[in-house]
Amino acid sequence: MTEAARFTQHALSDWMKGVGPDSDIVISSRIRIARNLQSYPFPMLATNQQSKEVLEHISEVMNNEELGTISWFTLLQLADLSELQKKVLVEKHLISPALASESRNGAVMLSDNESISIMVNEEDHIRIQCLCPGFQIKEAWDLASQIDDLFEEQLNYAFDEKRGFLTSCPTNVGTGIRASVMIHLPALVLTQQINRILSAITQVGLTVRGLYGEGSEALGNLFQISNQITLGQSEEEIIDNLYGVVKQIIEHERAARQKLLYETRAKILDRVSRSYGILSYAAIMDSKEAAQRLSDVRLGIDLEFIKNVSPHVLNELLVMTQPGFLQQTAGEKLSPEERDIRRAQLIREKMSEQG
């Protein structure tokens, strides 16, 4: 098995098998730190030789003994990967679409359990990403900060006394930090409270995106909530603001779930049961329907209507049913209709395994 295959042949990252706080609502917590090297142009302006030198400098940090105490890392150069492998890494949230499609001398350093992803020569020279299961945004920050400190000991970061860390995109200048959570809000959607909640979020310096970040759709009632502001606030202030807002959203979602149970229990049970049956027996299914049906079943698990399906399987299916992963498991390029047939087959098999 090649190094790349170790990270692309399975859908569920090891870190996703853990159970974090509030994991019935918060799927994962993520910290991403953007950094650039002082003596090199930003990646979009760098020559091929300059971006190659940046990769060499950053690769040397992999040999740091202290970094080895955090995890063992594998370096994957994007030029050595197939288009399908890159697509799967995007679907697993291990690299960004920008790194997969536009970077020069792009690479990624992945920890063994895939909870740490360090992208090289993306929009910035370095993008440190740390992921934790459930609502563990502060824990993710502690880990990302530790890695950032180790890099800073060996590399000269581009830094301005007034503006902070300098980044390719002005919206990241300052701390260079993006803190986000992936959150499942089916009850707020069903009780038609979601628009009011999302509108309030944008008033406190946060932004809401879909499953795959900026420009993506919020499929399966999954939303990414992250900070918008990186300049003028400390890292701790950014994280504390996100933490406080997400705590309130969790409380609203729990209240909405109780409202559904008490006021429309039979309708919710019917909705969950129908989706469970369709996932178990459908012969063809597109990605949008799959995401919605999986969301219904996950809600059914959380409300204890369904007791024989693990939430981890649903997390796994969210990746397994994406176009790249479907084609990889099939071993060939598939048409949209063939992908829909293959998607339904994989879901049936997984539901059958759960009994």
209 annotated as ligand-binding: yes
127 annotated as ligand-binding: yes
213 annotated as ligand-binding: yes
109 annotated as ligand-binding: no
Burial of 1 (0-12, 13-18, 19+ CB in 10 A): exposed
Residue type, 237: E
352 annotated as ligand-binding: no
204 annotated as ligand-binding: no
180 annotated as ligand-binding: yes
71 annotated as ligand-binding: no
214 annotated as ligand-binding: yes
27: three-class secondary structure by DSSP: strand
Tell me how far apart the alpha carbons of residues 324 and 328 are, in angstroms, rounded to a whole number.
Answer: 6
Interstrand relation of 206-209 and 222-227 (parallel, antiparallel or unpaired): antiparallel
196 annotated as ligand-binding: no
29 annotated as ligand-binding: yes
28 annotated as ligand-binding: yes
Is the CB of residue 324 less than 8 Å from the CB of residue 302? no
182 annotated as ligand-binding: yes
Tell me how far apart the alpha carbons of residues 350 and 260 are, in angstroms, rounded to a whole number.
Answer: 28
> For residue 291, how far is the Cα from the chain centroid?
15
212 annotated as ligand-binding: yes
Helices (H), 108-234: 137-154, 186-190, 194-202
Binding site, residues?
Answer: 28-32, 93, 127, 178-182, 209-214
Binding site for ATP, residues?
Answer: 28-32, 93, 127, 178-182, 209-214
